[in-house]
């Protein structure tokens, strides 16, 4: 995988309490939630966390699983503020998890590495929130660097920083937020993960990581059509990541557009996680000067991204506004992002 952090931020302010209570509040909700840290494991076991507070509270629980004595650490007040769009496929949940994990690790003096904190965030989302997501978003949020991607091996969790070179090449990354909301904790994401696991098992592989493009003819013979297409997406997407890293090194960022385009087609047709608004965003950007475009995130809504030469940005934005109006869709939110550093303590 080749994610990167963006210059939208989630901020966590921390105050130490003199009791064992963890209280979380946010600027995007009126309610605060309080729990006794010593009771957090039992609350999670009973499925007692819900809403946005499940993310920060889930991180505290996962840190307890990773060795923190939640009955001994000090209580805390956490206030969260974020300008990462929710439900847009830009990893707003991982941003909360990683900001909270980094803050709690420091205040509680736990000494975890960033890789370990990424696993804490994933564990929180999988168990406390109930979303069967991978570790990509958390890794990008913690390991990202300026104008660089994180070349991530999700099996070994080895990560290498890959220079993107967008700034030097005069390229901007335009986010097209369709406003169609999605949730990883429901439906489609879990179904597709289950299909991939079933496909790998039928092929005798521990995971689709062990399946290559050369194995696809055999997969077509063994699998039903839907499972085969789910498998084909993952296998070809893995290859596209390798190809993108190679092309970035050999030819630079202006040469990766076709790989972005192919990725969207695969997500649309094989994984079937796009929606009409995303397809329109991608097609309109491609037709009006973008080098490449694709949906981003878990699908079923959210945002698309387009790699655009700086001089073409206004043209693409005007075309998108016109196309969405013509099709009767709500106007998309358009903004540019910059590959950025990951979570840190703000001075």
The 10 Å Cβ neighbour count of residue 153 is 12
- For 344, the 3-state DSSP assignment is coil
Burial of 138 (0-12, 13-18, 19+ CB in 10 A): buried
Q: What stretches of the chain show up as alpha helix (H) in DSSP?
A: 40-45, 54-65, 92-107, 114-123, 136-143, 188-202, 216-222, 225-250, 257-269, 276-287, 313-326
3-state DSSP helix/strand/coil % of the chain, to nearest 5: 45, 20, 35
Residue burial 26-54, b: 16+ Cβ < 10 Å; e: rest: beeeeeebebebeebeeebeeeebeebbb
- Up-side HSE of residue 51: CA atoms within 13 Å toward CB? 11
- The residues carrying an active-site annotation are 137
At 99, give phi and psi (nearest 5°).
Answer: -65, -45
C-alpha angle 89/94/95, rounded to 5°? 95
Kindly state the tokens that stand for 162.
Answer: 């890959």
β-strand pairing of 76-82 with 21-26: parallel
DSSP type of residue 74: P
β-strand pairing of 171-177 with 333-337: antiparallel
Residues 6+ apart with CB under 8 A from 134: 122, 154
- Up-side HSE of residue 229: CA atoms within 13 Å toward CB? 11
């Amino acid at each position: 995988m080749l994610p990167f952090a963006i210059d939208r931020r989630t901020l966590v302010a921390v105050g130490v309490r003199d009791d064992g209570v963890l209280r979380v509040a946010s600027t995007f909700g009126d309610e605060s939630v309080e729990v006794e840290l010593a009771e957090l494991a039992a609350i999670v076991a009973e499925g007692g966390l819900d809403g946005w507070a499940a993310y920060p509270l889930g991180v505290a629980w996962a840190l307890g699983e990773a060795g923190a004595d939640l009955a001994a650490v000090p209580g805390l007040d956490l206030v969260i503020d974020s300008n990462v769009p929710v439900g847009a496929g830009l990893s707003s949940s991982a941003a909360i998890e990683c900001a909270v994990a980094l803050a709690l690790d420091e205040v509680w003096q736990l000494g975890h590495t960033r890789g370990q904190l990424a696993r804490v965030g994933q564990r929180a989302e999988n168990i406390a929130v109930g979303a069967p997501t991978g570790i990509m978003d958390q890794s990008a949020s913690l390991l990202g660097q300026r104008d660089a991607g994180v070349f991530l091996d999700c099996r070994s969790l080895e990560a290498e920083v890959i220079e993107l070179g967008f700034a030097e090449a005069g390229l901007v990354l335009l986010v097209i937020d369709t406003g169609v909301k999605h949730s990883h904790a429901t439906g489609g994401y879990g179904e597709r993960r289950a299909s991939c696991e079933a496909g790998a098992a039928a092929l005798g592989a521990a995971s689709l990581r062990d399946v290559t493009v050369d194995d696809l003819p055999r997969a077509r013979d063994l699998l039903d059509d839907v499972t085969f297409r789910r498998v084909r997406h993952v296998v070809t997407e893995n290859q596209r990541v390798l190809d993108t890293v190679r092309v970035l090194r050999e030819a630079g960022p202006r040469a990766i557009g076709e790989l972005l385009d192919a990725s969207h087609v695969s997500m649309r047709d094989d994984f079937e996680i796009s929606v009409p608004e995303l397809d329109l965003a991608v097609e309109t950007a491609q037709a009006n000067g973008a080098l490449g475009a694709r949906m981003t995130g878990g699908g079923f809504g959210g945002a698309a991204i387009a790699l655009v030469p700086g001089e073409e940005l206004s043209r693409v934005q005007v075309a998108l506004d016109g196309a969405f109006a013509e099709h009767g869709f709500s106007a998309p939110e358009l903004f540019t992002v910059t590959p950025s550093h990951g979570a840190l303590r703000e001075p």
